Homo-oligomer: A and B are copies of this chain.
Amino acid sequence: MADEKKLTSRSEDFSSWYNEVVLRAELADYSPVRGSMVIRPWGYGIWENMQRTLDEMFKETGHENAYFPLLIPMSFIEREKAHVEGFAPELAVVTQAGGKELEEPFAIRPTSETIIYSMYAKWVQSYRDLPILMNQWANVMRWELRTRLFLRTSEFLWQEGHTAHATPEEAEEETLLILGIYRRFMEEWIGMPPVTGLKSESEKFAGAVRSYSCEALMQDNKALQAGTSHFLGQNFARQFDLKFQSEAGAEEYAWNTSWGVSTRLVGGMVMTHGDDAGLVVPPRLAPVQAVIVPITRGDDTAAAVLEKSHQFAARLKDQGVRVKVDARENLSPGAKFYEWERKGVPFRVEIGPKDMEKGQVALARRIVPEGAGRKEFVAEDQAVSEMPSRLESFQTELREAAWKRREENSHRGVKTLDEMVEIIENGGGMVYTGWNGDPAVEEMVKERTKATIRCIPTEEFRSGSAPDRCVSGEGASTMEVAWARAY
Contacts and interface: CB of A to CB of B under 8 A. Distances in A.
Nearest to A138: B139
Contacts of A108: 70, 94, 108
A141 B70 contact: yes
A422 B469 CA distance: 92
B143 A98 contact: yes
Contact of A115 (B31, B40, B45): B31
Nearest to A75: B32
Contact of A122 (B29, B69, B106): B29
A29 B40 CA distance: 34
Contacts of A66: 38-41, 44
Contact of A98 (B70, B115, B145): B145
Interface residues of A, number: 56
A38 B120 CA distance: 11
B139 A76 contact: no
B98 A330 contact: no
Contacts of A89: 98-99
Contact of A65 (B32, B44, B95, B134): B44
- Total copies of the chain: 2
B90 A98 contact: yes
B92 A67 contact: no
A48 interface: yes
Interface in A22-74: 29, 31-33, 36-41, 44-45, 48, 64-73
Contacts of A72: 33
Contacts of A39: 66-67
Interface in A108-153: 108, 115, 118-119, 122-123, 128, 134, 138-139, 141, 143-145
A411 to B, nearest CB: 37
Contacts of A73: 32-33
